[in-house]
């Protein structure tokens, strides 16, 4: 179970809160990118970035020259992962909504103790199987990369699913269409690099990306 603190307790629409750890894992495994929020030089900044997860740790990485990553190390941060599952059309614009699964993590980002492990988790979240398939980072590349770890202890999960919640008057009026337009992200056909020598087939881990 997640153990919400005051700042990670969902206030509005509390019935959409989920407190099982499995719900957090579901969102983090379904999302592709996160948004990292922190204060840099007194100003808030939100950055889209990749991530990876191993059990109760979220990993983030970037160039060791990146100002935001340097500022995030040892600092209070907030990370959001959002998966949009559909647009909810209601009889009134006021009741339009989205079906979604989202997670917010609060905590202090610290330099990962095992940088390569963090990079493996990040690589295999984005491109499962690539850590084992492609060349792994050399010493120079590792030195040029920061890897941060964020504990998944203080986190919240919110989910909305199902049809619109319309007002009785609007349902009775019965003129506007109401329902859900599901949104699904699908991978396309792999596009080999133009300089790929002939005879290297698309590997199984690429073909199977996203296949349950």
Ligand X SMILES: Cc1cc2nc3c(=O)[nH]c(=O)nc-3n(C[C@H](O)[C@H](O)[C@H](O)COP(=O)(O)OP(=O)(O)OC[C@H]3O[C@@H](n4cnc5c(N)ncnc54)[C@H](O)[C@@H]3O)c2cc1C
Among 2, 28, 72, 103, binds ligand X (CB under 6 A): 103
Q: Is 30 in the site for ligand X (CB under 6 A)?
A: no
Q: Is 104 in the site for ligand X (CB under 6 A)?
A: yes
CA max distance for the chain: 68
Taking residue 96's Cβ as centre, other Cβ atoms within 10 Å add up to 13
Nearer Cβ to ligand X, position 101 or 115?
A: 101
Closest CA to 92 of 159, 165, 160, 161: 165
Nearer Cβ to ligand X, position 91 or 158?
A: 158
Stretch touching ligand X by CB under 6 A, among 10-18, 110-118, 125-133, 172-180: 10-18
Q: Which residues contact 145 (CB under 8 A, 6 or more apart)?
A: 61, 62, 63, 64, 115, 119, 137
DSSP string, 146-192: EEEEEESSSEEEEEE-SS----HHHHHH--S--EEEE----------
Stretch touching ligand X by CB under 6 A, among 2-10, 40-48, 68-76, 189-197: 2-10
CB of 42 to ligand X, least distance (A): 21
Q: Give the integer Cα–Cα distance in Å for 52 and 119.
A: 8
111-170: which residues touch ligand X (CB under 6 A)? 156-158
Q: Is 100 in the site for ligand X (CB under 6 A)?
A: yes
Nearer Cβ to ligand X, position 115 or 158?
A: 158
Q: Is 10 in the site for ligand X (CB under 6 A)?
A: yes
Q: Is 99 in the site for ligand X (CB under 6 A)?
A: no
Among 11, 194, 197, 201, binds ligand X (CB under 6 A): 11
Q: Which residues contact 185 (CB under 8 A, 6 or more apart)?
A: 32
Asked if 34 contacts 152 with a C-beta cutoff of 8 angstroms, the reply is no
Q: Which residues bind ligand X (CB under 6 A)?
A: 7-12, 82, 84, 98, 100, 102-104, 156-158
């Amino acid at each position: 179970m997640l153990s919400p603190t005051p700042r990670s307790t969902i206030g509005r629409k509390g019935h959409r809160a989920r407190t099982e750890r499995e719900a957090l894992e579901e969102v983090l495994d379904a999302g592709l990118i996160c948004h990292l929020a922190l204060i840099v030089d007194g100003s808030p900044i939100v950055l889209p970035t990749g991530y990876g997860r191993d059990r109760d740790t979220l990993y983030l990485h970037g160039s060791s020259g990146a100002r935001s990553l340097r500022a995030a190390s040892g600092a209070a941060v907030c990370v959001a992962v959002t998966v949009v599952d559909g647009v909810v059309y209601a009889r009134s614009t006021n009741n339009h909504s989205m079906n979604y699964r989202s997670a917010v993590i609060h905590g202090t980002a610290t330099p990962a103790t095992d940088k390569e492990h963090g990079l493996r988790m990040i690589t295999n979240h984005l491109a499962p199987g690539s850590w084992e398939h492609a060349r792994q980072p050399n010493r120079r590349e590792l030195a040029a990369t920061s890897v941060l770890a964020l504990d998944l202890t203080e986190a919240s999960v919110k989910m909305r699913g199902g049809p619109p919640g319309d007002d009785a008057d609007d349902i009775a009026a019965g003129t506007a269409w109401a329902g859900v337009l599901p949104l699904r992200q699908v991978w396309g056909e792999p596009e080999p690099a133009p300089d790929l020598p002939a005879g290297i087939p698309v590997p199984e881990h690429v073909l199977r990306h996203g296949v349950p």
